[in-house]
């Protein structure tokens, strides 16, 4: 099956710093990538949808200046948490989809555990 990687898998940072998380589709071209956030014992919360070469579409309540998303190529999307604070600590998961259609499975990366001190 299709493989999506995420880097780093775990990051601890000080409050006020920025953290960049990379999401790569390793064996397919992802026209669309999704960024999710998940709190403990909660379901996935879609933060934004990004299409290669265009601006990301953010869900209501997600600050686009806080969570910068860049989908520079068909295999790479990055999420930058700017000026991170303890409340940004969470499990961030990306997923990638090859295209829209009848079968539009999303392939998930392994996730990034962010802890802001």
Partner 1 sequence: GQNIDQPTEMTATEGAIVQINCTYQTSGFNGLFWYQQHAGEAPTFLSYNVLDGLEEKGRFSSFLSRSKGYSYLLLKELQMKDSASYLCAVSDSNYQLIWGAGTKLIIKP
Q: Where does this chain bind partner 1 (CB under 8 A)?
A: 1, 34, 41-44, 46, 49, 91, 93, 97, 100, 102-111, 113
Name the minimum Å distance from CB 23 to partner 1. 11
Shortest distance (Å) from residue 16 CB to partner 1: 27
Please, which residue, 34 or 67, has the CB nearer to partner 1? 34
In 5-102, which ranges are continuous DSSP H helix? none
3-state SS class at 17: coil
Q: Which is nearer to partner 1, 18 or 64 (CB)?
A: 64
The nearest distance, CB 59 to partner 1, in angstroms, is 10
The whole-angstrom separation of Cα 114 and Cα 117 is: 10
Q: Which is nearer to partner 1, 65 or 102 (CB)?
A: 102
Q: Which of 24/109 has CB closer to partner 1? A: 109
DSSP string, 18-83: -EEEEEEESSS--SEEEEEEE-TT---EEEEEEETTSPPEEPTT--TTTEEEEEEETTEEEEEE-S
The DSSP bridge partners found for residue 91 are 38, 113
User: Minimal distance in Å, beta carbon 7 to partner 1?
Assistant: 13
């Amino acid at each position: 099956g299709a493989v999506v990687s995420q880097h780093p898998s775990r990051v601890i940072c000080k409050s006020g710093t920025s953290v960049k998380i990379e999401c790569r589709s390793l064996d397919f071209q992802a026209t669309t990538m999704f960024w999710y956030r998940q709190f403990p014992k909660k379901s996935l919360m879609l933060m934004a949808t990004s299409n290669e070469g265009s601006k990301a579409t953010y869900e209501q309540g997600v600050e686009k200046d806080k969570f910068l998303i860049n989908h520079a190529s068909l295999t790479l999307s990055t999420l930058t948490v700017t000026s991170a604070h303890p409340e940004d600590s969470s499990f961030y998961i990306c997923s990638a989809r090859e295209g829209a259609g009848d079968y539009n499975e999303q392939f998930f990366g392994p996730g990034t555990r962010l802890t802001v001190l």
